[in-house]
Amino acid sequence: MKADLETPRIDRGLDDVYVKETKICFIDGEQGRLLYRGYDIRDLAEHSSFEETVFLLLQGRLPNRAELERTKSELAAARTLPPSVLKLFRSMPEHAAPMDVLRTAVSYLSGFDPERADSTRAANMRKAMRLVAQLATIVATYERSRKGQRVLRPDPKLGHAEDFLRMITGKRPSPERARMMDVALILYADHAINASTFGAIVAASTLADLHSTVVSAIAVLKGPLHGGAIEAALSAIEEIRRPEAAEEYVVNALRNKQKIFGFGHRVYKTYDPRALMLKEYARKLGDLQGDSTYFRIATAIEETVVRELASKRIYPNVDFYSGLVFHGLGIPSDLFTPVFAVARVSGWTAQVMEYWEDNRLLRPLDWYVGPKDLEYTPLDERA
Ligand code: ACO
């Protein structure tokens, strides 16, 4: 370690810094391509299910029919939570933010995990499946419990996405809506070493347990520069109210140096392929509801941002249209980021387990620029 040498290059934001090799996720930010384990996200969105994607991310290959059925049954069986979780929810302060509840519940559940003291790869794989299953039920159960509604038990006959939506809204979604939820979970399942995955990996690098890595990731995901952007993007659409008002809103916001949430990305310098697919779903949901006002506001925002920020290559990211999709599926806006976590837990756990195959403690350096050699003043002599 260097001390008192010339100022080093400081990688603020760690842009362009590689910290590991991976075989899980590939992003081409220039071409707008995203691959999970070598498969194009567009193919997975068209042909796959969330359960199949979970298997793919965790196991590194597509499952055969029997493996897929086993994955579905394993997730379905693990969706049920210990009954005391409901007591935990009831003990949380009224209006607790769902992301805070989710983070707390994952910590709480770590103590119930039947293999909490086992950190072998096989045990971690099973824990990962339990976490994927449980996050969905935590979010749905908290939603109904905070509203004083009857909490629905998981239905093991239903697919993960369909059951998740049913447990939130209280009614079984149409096949079309269930499929939209399924695809949204696929699109959010992984995204290389984004901020929350990095948070998980920093925890993993100390050899903390899998539950702790997910708690870390949830904490990092919460911020509006990351997962919190979905809710902020929908708030802007709600605030604008009329498509004709969108252009002026964006121009004013940019003039005041405000960020437009749901736009821009550290890696993509073109359209995020996930945003393109979600935009189509947002359009369809507007048509199904017979009211496409929000969709028209969103497209007007998009046109203005892309035009005004063309030189900075700013385009919609995954979080811009997903809020409209979740809203159209009947999910309240403060659950959007938790829904992101419900999907991304598959990527977090896959990435953490891959990191453990060649673990190294993550311990960067910071360059000290404060004073040195200050003389200690006794308390009575200080002004
Ligand atoms: N609105 C307005 N201007 C923007 C936006 C935006 N959404 N995004 C970037 N810019 C501008 C910046 O102001 C900056 O301009 P400058 O060079 O004149 O200072 C330039 O584009 C580069 O932006 P940075 O913020 O430096 O780029 P960075 O790589 O750090 O940004 C980030 C990535 C944080 C996502 C940014 O685009 C942003 O804040 N977007 C809004 C929040 C958001 O949507 N987050 C979700 C990201 S996707 C996800 O987490 C799943």
Q: What is the dihedral of CA 81, 86, 91, 97, to 10 degrees?
A: 70
Ligand 1 nearest-atom number relative to CA 233: 44
CA angle 154, 100, 163 (to 5 degrees): 15
Distance CA(3)–CA(257), nearest Å, equals 38
Mean per-residue pLDDT, 39-59: 98
Least Cα distance to 164 among 148, 184, 187 occurs for: 184
Pairing of strands 33-36, 39-40: antiparallel
- The pLDDT, as a whole number, for residue 1 is 52
Check if CATH label 3.50.50.60 holds for domain 20-223+338-356. Answer: no
Q: Is 207 in the pocket of ligand 1 (CB under 6 A)?
A: no
Task: Print burial letters for 265-293: b (CB count within 10 Å at least 16), e (below 16).
Answer: bebbeebbbbbebbbebbbbbbeeeeebe
Reported as a single tens digit per residue, the pLDDT across 309-334 is: 999 999 999 999 999 999 999 999 99
Does residue 314 have its Cβ closer than 6 Å to ligand 1? yes
> Catalytic: 319?
yes
The DSSP code sequence of 254-304 is HHTT---TTB--SS-SS--HHHHHHHHHHHHHHHHHT--HHHHHHHHHHHH
**Does the Cβ of 317 fall within 6 Å of ligand 1?**
yes
Q: How many angstroms does the Cα of residue 116 sit away from the middle of ligand 1?
A: 39
Arithmetic mean of pLDDT over the chain: 96
Q: Does residue 211 carry a catalytic annotation?
A: no
What would the mean pLDDT of 75-83 be, rounded to a whole number?
A: 96
Mind listing the pLDDT tens digit for each residue in 257-306?
999 999 999 899 999 999 999 999 999 999 999 999 999 999 999 999 99
Helical residues (DSSP H) of the chain, grouped into ranges: 41-47, 50-59, 65-78, 84-91, 98-110, 121-146, 160-169, 175-188, 195-205, 210-221, 229-240, 246-255, 273-289, 293-308, 318-328, 336-356
Which residues have CB under 8 Å from 4's CB, separation 6+?
none
- Model confidence at 185: pLDDT above 80: yes
pLDDT of residue 5: 66
**CB of 229 shorter than 6 A to ligand 1:** yes
Sheet holding 39-40, edge to edge: 25-28, 33-36, 39-40
| CA–CA dist 202, 205 (Å, integer) | 5
Pick the CATH number of 229-328 from 1.10.230.10, 3.40.50.1000, 3.30.2420.10, 3.30.420.270: 1.10.230.10
Mean pLDDT of 43-52: 98
Q: Whose CA is nearest to atom 32 of ligand 1?
A: 265
250 lines ligand 1 (CB under 6 A): no
Residue 360 has pLDDT above 80, yes or no: yes
Domain boundaries, the chain: 20-223+338-356, 229-328
Q: What per-residue confidence (pLDDT) applies to 12?
A: 93
Q: Give the ligand 1 atom nearest the CA of 226.
A: 50
The Cα–Cα gap between 369 and 20 comes to 29
- 226 catalytic? Reply is yes
